[in-house]
């Protein structure tokens, strides 16, 4: 194996460069090196590169939605061997702290991330030919799933965790998803697979709404063109059972709160910026408003996402709009910044 590899290295905000860097090695117990085949380009990567999120230390290799082939295993690794096709969970965990012991590995006191956001311990990510991680972050990739589709496991797992595990969507529930970029579409596809009754997608982009209709929305609403609440209550006279905000802007959170009727469950899923919204305490009490929020992923959610794909319940391939080799990462970045795109895949 070569000693050097190609990587997209962020040296400063807005300074992403293709560089030859040292290939990582699996030297510690439990470590593995994966030859990356595909990696999803997430909004979090874009925000780091463009300087929209500032908690980045340089140099940094972004990319946290990888699939690939095990290239090298470190001491003590028995569950995986060189040549195994794998999917990588980007959030590492210790397995022994109180949070890990009850299954909340995304709260781990010793968490690390490969190329992602959240933990303070940040390892180089997957916009590179090779990436080092721990074997506890690996999942075997089923044969029937392409590397590109497998690279969308982590966002799909987040959608499953939010919609099913936390908000407990039930068969025939009337569901509204606000914001149908790639993560909102995945929420919608999970809801459809779980037997949603009426399924409304709300977005200000007509491109996104066309995708939503293709992928199973029963109705779409563009709030820039019509009164979203009025339309939702025309389509769902009894109001939604579940509303998922997968958009990001605070206006989307406010719309979600505004769409409630008695007993509606709502999930603060997309917003990551520190903006506030008001809720009426008494009204929330009498409505029995049930709020959830969801971030990150867990081995349980990753496993369920892999099952959803393997059993043909969610086809993540359908949300891929662009593919770029690593050498064309800057073109990928430009596409991410444009409105007419869905999931972008980088192939190192
Ligand atoms: Zn992401
Ligand atoms: Zn832990």
Ranges of residues in the chain with a pLDDT under 70 are: 1
Tell how far the Cα of 194 is from the centroid of ligand 1, in angstroms: 23
What pLDDT is attached to residue 54? Answer: 86
**Whole-structure pTM value:** 0.96
Tell how far the Cα of 152 is from the centroid of ligand 1, in angstroms: 9
Helices (H), the chain: 43-50, 98-101, 147-150, 153-160, 182-193, 206-214, 228-235, 250-258, 281-287, 299-310, 329-337
What pLDDT is attached to residue 177? Answer: 98
Tell how far the Cα of 44 is from the centroid of ligand 1, in angstroms: 6
Q: Which-ligand-closest: CA of 90?
A: 1
Closest CA to 348 of 328, 333, 330: 328
Tell how far the Cα of 116 is from the centroid of ligand 1, in angstroms: 7
Residue 173 CA to residue 124 CA, distance in Å, equals 41
Q: Which-ligand-closest: CA of 65?
A: 1
What pLDDT is attached to residue 272? Answer: 87
Q: What 8-state DSSP symbol labels residue 247? A: S
Tell how far the Cα of 134 is from the centroid of ligand 2, in angstroms: 13
Q: What is the pLDDT of residues 154-187, one digit of tens each?
A: 999 999 999 999 999 999 999 999 999 999 999 9
Tell how far the Cα of 99 is from the centroid of ligand 2, in angstroms: 6
What pLDDT is attached to residue 151? Answer: 98
Tell how far the Cα of 43 is from the centroid of ligand 1, in angstroms: 6
Tell how far the Cα of 102 is from the centroid of ligand 2, in angstroms: 10
Which tokens belong to 35? 């030859």
What pLDDT is attached to residue 1? Answer: 65
First to last CA, the chain: 16
Q: What is the pLDDT of residues 202-249, one digit of tens each?
A: 999 999 999 999 999 999 999 999 999 999 999 999 999 999 999 999
What pLDDT is attached to residue 163? Answer: 98
Closest CA to 316 of 76, 74, 75, 153: 153
């Amino acid at each position: 194996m070569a000693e050097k590899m190609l990587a997209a290295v962020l040296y400063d905000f807005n300074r992403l460069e293709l560089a030859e860097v040292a290939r990582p090695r699996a030297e510690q117990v439990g470590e593995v090196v994966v030859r990356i085949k595909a990696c999803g380009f997430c909004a979090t990567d874009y925000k780091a590169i463009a300087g929209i999120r500032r908690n980045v230390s340089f140099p940094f290799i972004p990319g946290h939605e990888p699939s690939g082939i095990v290239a090298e295993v470190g001491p003590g690794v028995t569950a995986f061997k060189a040549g195994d096709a794998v999917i990588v969970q980007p959030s590492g965990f210790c397995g022994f702290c109180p949070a890990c012991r009850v299954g909340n590995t995304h709260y781990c006191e010793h968490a690390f991330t490969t190329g992602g956001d959240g933990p303070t311990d940040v390892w180089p990510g997957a916009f590179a030919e090779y990436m080092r991680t721990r074997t506890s972050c690996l999942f075997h990739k089923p044969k029937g799933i392409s590397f590109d589709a497998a690279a969308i496991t982590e966002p799909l797992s987040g959608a499953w965790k939010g919609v099913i595990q936390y908000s407990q969507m039930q068969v025939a529930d009337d569901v509204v998803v606000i914001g149908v970029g790639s993560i909102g579409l995945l929420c919608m596809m999970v809801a459809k697979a779980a037997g949603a009754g009426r399924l409304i997608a709300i977005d200000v982009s007509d491109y996104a709404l066309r995708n939503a209709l293709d992928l199973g929305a029963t109705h779409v609403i563009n709030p820039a063109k019509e009164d979203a609440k009025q339309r939702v209550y025309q389509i769902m006279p009894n109001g939604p059972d579940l509303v998922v905000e997968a958009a990001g802007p605070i206006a989307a959170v406010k719309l979600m709160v505004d769409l409630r009727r008695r007993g509606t469950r709502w999930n603060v899923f997309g917003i990551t910026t520190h903006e506030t919204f008001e809720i009426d305490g008494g009204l929330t009490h009498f409505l029995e408003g049930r709020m959830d929020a969801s971030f990150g992923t867990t081995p349980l959610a990753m496993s369920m996402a892999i099952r959803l794909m393997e059993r043909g319940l969610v086809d993540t391939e359908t949300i891929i709009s662009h593919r770029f080799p690593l050498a064309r990462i800057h073109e990928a970045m430009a596409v991410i910044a444009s409105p007419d795109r869905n999931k972008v895949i980088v192939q190192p």
